[in-house]
Amino acid sequence: MDFGVIEVANSRANAAPGWAYVPDVGVKNSLTALHPRKRARNQLATLHDTTAKQDAKILRGLAELDRENHKDVSIPIPAKQRDSGGRGAHKSTPAVRKIISSQKTFANHLDDFQVLKPSATTTTSQPVSAPPSTPAAATVTATPNSKRSHKKKEPVVSKSTPLRKVSTASKTSASTPAAEPIKAEPPPDVAMTDAPPILSSSSDSGPAPHPGDSDQLLVSRIPAMPSQAEIEQLLAAPPLSYTEAKGPWTDQDKSKPDQDILFLALES
């Protein structure tokens, strides 16, 4: 789709009038001079790589752009003078109280999710949980029993048969009953015979035929529609997790020479 044309970055700084894109060629000498020991990791493989230091700086900058307020503030819920609307007398269930008193941020929840992700498939009132049904996939199980002393949150990759891990998994989900992990990848759903067809129920029969319809020069080719089974399968796929849904950095963008020009120009 892009005809094989590759833009080539030139390292020559243009002295032409007007502004110019200037490729950023690595770290400044003054910076590396201060840390000669870290020269290796600050060495650039190609023009578009960034060093660890640059990466850290960029990430810090992005985290700053993600903040809600410039300073850390906490706005407590204002003390309420209960009107006699009746809601004041309302008694919350323990689960609700737990949710309301939780001060977890999204990042905390995401960490929890990633640690517990593959350990179980369902969470119900009783601790019904099991490893994924596809034993082919290596099961990553959070084992609170092992390695606790070192790193609490490190997922342990176990290659043993999942049946062995059931008790551990149940325990995990019982101790944190709120943690609902994602489901295992299901097999393609069977198309139900009585299910209504998708995308083929249009009532009108299309435009009236035209004498030129059969003309080889005028005929338009459209790709064939996928079958019902394929569409069913598409729609039955489970949601991706938060991290999986993050849009990637495509190769075309990576090779774009002027990608970080604005940023670097504005930063310096």
Partner 1 sequence: MAPASRRSAAKPAGPAPPTRTLIIDNGAYTLKAGFSSPSSSSSATSTEPHSSDSPPDVESKPSIIPNCLARDREKTVYIGSQLSKCRDFGEIVFRRPVDKGYLVNWEAEKEIWEHEFFDKKAPLHCDPTETGLILTEAPNALPQLQTNCDQMVFEEFGFASYYRCTAPTLNAYNDIQTMFPIPIPTRNMAKPQLPAEILLLIDSGYSHTTITPLLEGRPIQSAVRRLDVGGKLLTNYLTRLLSLRQYDMRNDTYLVNEVKEACCYVSRDLKADMERTWKGPKGDRREIYATGGGIAKDYILPDYHNRSKGYVRDHEPAAAGKLKNLTTGKSAEAAEDILTLRNERFTVPEILFNPTDIGMKQSGIPRLVMESLSCIPFGLWPGFLANILVVGGNANIEGFMFRLEMEIRALAPAECIVRVGKPADPIISTWQGGAALAKDANALSKLSVTKQEYEEHGAAWVARKFDGRTLELPTTLCSKYRWTLEVLAYGDIGAASRAIGPGCPYCPRLHESVFRMINQRVFRDYAWPPWAVNDAWTVGSVITDKH
Residue type, 232: E
Q: Which of 45, 66, 212, 218 binds partner 1 (CB under 8 A)?
A: 66
- Closer residue to partner 1 in complex, CB, 58/140: 58
- Closer residue to partner 1 in complex, CB, 149/268: 268
**Binding window for partner 1 (CB under 8 A); candidates: 26-34, 85-93, 143-151, 211-219:** 85-93
- Closer residue to partner 1 in complex, CB, 215/253: 253
- Cβ 210 vs Cβ 251: under 8 Å: no
In angstroms, the CA 52 to CA 42 distance is: 6
**Binding window for partner 1 (CB under 8 A); candidates: 24-32, 144-152, 209-217, 240-248:** 240-248
140 three-class SS: strand
Buried b (16+ CB within 10 A) or exposed e, 114-148: bbbbbbbbebeeebebbbbeeeeeebbbbbeeeee
Residue 118 near partner 1 by CB under 8 A: no
- x/- mask, partner 1, residues 127-146, rule CB under 8 A, reads -xxxxxx-------------
Distance set, CA 52 to CA 46, 57, 85 (Å): 14, 9, 58
Residue 252 near partner 1 by CB under 8 A: yes
Q: Cβ of residue 36: shortest distance to partner 1, in angstroms?
A: 26
